[in-house]
Amino acid sequence: MKAVAIKKGHSHEKAATFQEMGSFRCDHCGEVFSIFQHPSGADHKTAEKQAYWLEKVLAEEHEREKKHPDFIELPDYC
């Protein structure tokens, strides 16, 4: 696992050694997720692509009336 998104207010032991790359707010409900990447491959351009991917995933969850999980594994590249 090289990158994860974690809902604000939640912690995950797997992200303890990761570098925070920014945050993303769901347009539909306002929940905020922090994007974390492994320090050896931390890249802001990749984080931007991951945020875009996360935006689509969160929107699909709203369409299916599904609650957002606290922890989402992100793709290495989009």
Query: For the segment 9-34, what is each residue's pLDDT rounded down to a tens digit?
Result: 887 776 788 999 999 999 999 999 99
Residue 34 lies in a domain: yes
Question: Residue ranges of the alpha helices (H) in 13-75?
Answer: 44-63
Query: Number of structural domains, the chain?
Result: 1
Residue 21 lies in a domain: yes
Its domain, for residue 54, covers 3-73
Burial environment of residue 11 by CB neighbours within 10 A (0 to 12, 13 to 18, 19 or more): exposed
Higher pLDDT, 44 or 76: 44
Is pLDDT at 78 greater than 70 in this prediction?
no
Residue 78 lies in a domain: no
34 phi, psi to nearest 5 deg: -95, 140
Mean pLDDT of all residues belonging to the chain = 91
Residue 9 lies in a domain: yes
**What's the whole-model pTM score?**
0.88
- For the record, the structure tokens of 60 come out as 């699909």
Is pLDDT at 77 greater than 80 in this prediction?
no
The answer for 65, left when phi > 0, alpha when psi is -120 to 50, beta otherwise, is left
Spatial contact of 54 and 46, defined as CB atoms under 8 Å apart: no
Residue 23 lies in a domain: yes
